[in-house]
Amino acid sequence: MFLALVLLVSTGGSCGKQENGTNALAGWEKMGHEDDPSEEPSENPSTNESTDPDESKDPDADCWFKTRGIVAGWTDVYAPGNEYEINYMKLAEDHHLNSFSIYNADRNSQDWKNFMAEGARIGVKFEFQEHMMSFLLPRNLFDSHPEYFRQDKKGNRTKDANGCPSSEGALEQVFLNAKDIGARYEPTNHKYYFWLDDGGDICYCDKCKGLSASDQALIFENKVLEALKELDPDAQLAHLAYNNTTEAPKNVKPSEGIFLEFAPFHRTWDHALSETWAEGNSGWNHARYLRVLQENLKVFPKETAQVLEYWMDDSLFSSWNPSNLKPVPWSNLIFQDDLKTYAKYGIRHITCYCAYVGPNYFRKFGYPQFLIEYADGLYNFRKE
């Protein structure tokens, strides 16, 4: 079941995968480089309650959630020729979203440049959440260097996904390509996302077989971050805890600057995470997710940990079929309860897919009020 989903995902939607690889690597404009004080981690409890009415202070100062983001496709946020039916920029401006990850945009187009300039004006940061392994370790190296690629359980090298993190040559390639791609994909918040292949299996060679998927991912990620820091000394890189990398790494330690990105793809959104007995389609119950989140937070810093959620991901709820959109089963009660859960674990950075919540969604279901409830919920949340 999951494999079928993965194939569907790869045609666009919540995995954020590019339909056309060259698009993904098109030139990137550098804009909006100012530092954002709201990105500074703060555990000072005095910031939870504002006692100072001085409006000239950082309006985010008493917000618990410092990152309030969305991940969407370009065709969701931009509708040429008929104005925005859902104006994501206005939503961000009026309701304090501050982080956009937009996939499948032509980075060289004037429309995209205008979009970014508008974002910079209102304080939206841009980042790029993508599965990148096939760019970091190009498959066309397989014929000359099969040892760069993963060994399957039968002992054969294969280029179907990911690579061999015990191969020095593979790590050299990853380093070089990370630097090249990072220079063209520069986020405006120093947060990079070079995810491994979606649903891809890992290496079982003699050197790798004792390493979990999370360990193997982290070896690649540490190397990617080393490259990115040569471009941007403040670079941070996500370790995506998702699917086979959801469990915490055990044998590899994250370099400074790696942050946890926790994506509970197999939960159910019919129940809050705090309902620990509830179970998603793949048989993962919420108790398991909360245990694994806690274990990950022993390995990765709490201050920078981020959640990638799916509350509004209509690509997921429509089974990645854009011609048969289903309504997002939004529940503000569940969302609010989930925020409490995440805050309880110390998480202050949240972003969420809203793939397929675009012009067609608006035409079929009207204005998605949940976008406003999402943004307001994050902005107004105060930890008890």
Decide: is 205 part of the binding site for Zn ion (CB under 5 A): yes
Shortest approach of Zn ion to residue 157 CB, angstroms? Answer: 9
Range in contact with Zn ion (rule: CB under 5 A) among 33-41, 52-60, 207-215, 376-384: 207-215
Question: Residue written as tokens 């997710």?
Answer: 289
Q: How far is the CB of 216 from Zn ion (least distance, A)?
A: 8
Nearer to Zn ion, 204 or 362 (CB): 204
The full 3-state SS of the chain, as one line of letters, equals CHHHHHHHHCCCCCCCCCCCHHHHCCCCCCCCCCCCHHHCCCCCHHHCCCCCCCCCCCCCCCCCCCEEEEEEEHHHHCCCCCCCCCCHHHHHHHHCCCEEEEECCCCCCHHHHHHHHHHHHHCCEEECEEECHHHHCCHHHCCCCHHHCEECCCCCEECCCCCCCCCHHHHHHHHHHHHHHHHHCCCCCCEEEEECCCCCCCCCCCCCCCCCHHHHHHHHHHHHHHHHHHHCCCCEEEEEECHHHCCCCCCCCCCCCEEEEECCCCCCCCCCCCCCCCECCCCCEHHHHHHHHHHHHHHCCCCCCEEEECCCCHHHHCCCCCCCCCCCCCCHHHHHHHHHHHHHCCCCEEEEECCCCCHHHHHHHCCCHHHHHHHHHHHHCCCC
The Cα–Cα gap between 186 and 182 comes to 6
In whole angstroms, the minimum distance from the beta carbon of 218 to Zn ion comes to: 14
Using CB under 5 A as the binding rule, whether residue 252 contacts Zn ion is answered as: no
Does residue 212 touch Zn ion according to CB under 5 A?
no
CB nearer to Zn ion: give 77 or 164.
164
Kindly tell me which of 203 and 305 has the beta carbon lying closer to Zn ion: 203
Q: To the nearest whole angstrom, how small is the minimum distance from the Cβ of residue 171 to Zn ion?
A: 11
Supply the minimum distance, in Å, between the C-beta of residue 177 and Zn ion.
18
Q: Candidates 14-22, 115-123, 208-216, 229-237: pick the segment binding Zn ion (CB under 5 A).
A: 208-216
Stretch that binds Zn ion, among 71-79, 188-196, 197-205, 361-369 (CB under 5 A): 197-205
Applying CB under 5 A, among 86, 137, 208, 375 the residue interacting with Zn ion is 208
- The window from 109-117, 159-167, 270-278, 331-339 that contacts Zn ion (CB under 5 A) reads 159-167
Q: Please work out the total of residues on this chain that contact Zn ion, with binding judged by CB under 5 A.
A: 5
Instruction: Between 163 and 187, name the residue whose CB sits nearer to Zn ion.
Output: 163
Cα torsion 240, 241, 247, 248: sign: positive
> Is residue 166 near Zn ion by the rule CB under 5 A?
yes
Q: Which is nearer to Zn ion, 87 or 156 (CB)?
A: 156
Q: Which is nearer to Zn ion, 105 or 164 (CB)?
A: 164
Residue with Cβ nearer Zn ion (85 or 201) = 201
Q: Which residues of 326-355 are buried (b: 16+ CB within 10 A; e: fewer)?
A: eebebbeebbeebbebbbeeebbbbbbbbb
CB closer to Zn ion out of 205 and 299: 205
Please report how close the Cβ of residue 145 comes to Zn ion at its closest, in angstroms: 13
Least Å distance, CB 200 to Zn ion, is: 14
Min dist CB 203 to Zn ion, Å, is: 3
- Told to check if 203 binds Zn ion by CB under 5 A, we report yes
Between residue 87 and residue 106, which ones bind Zn ion under the rule CB under 5 A?
none
Min. distance of Cβ 10 from Zn ion in angstroms?
24
Residues that bind Zn ion (CB under 5 A): 164, 166, 203, 205, 208
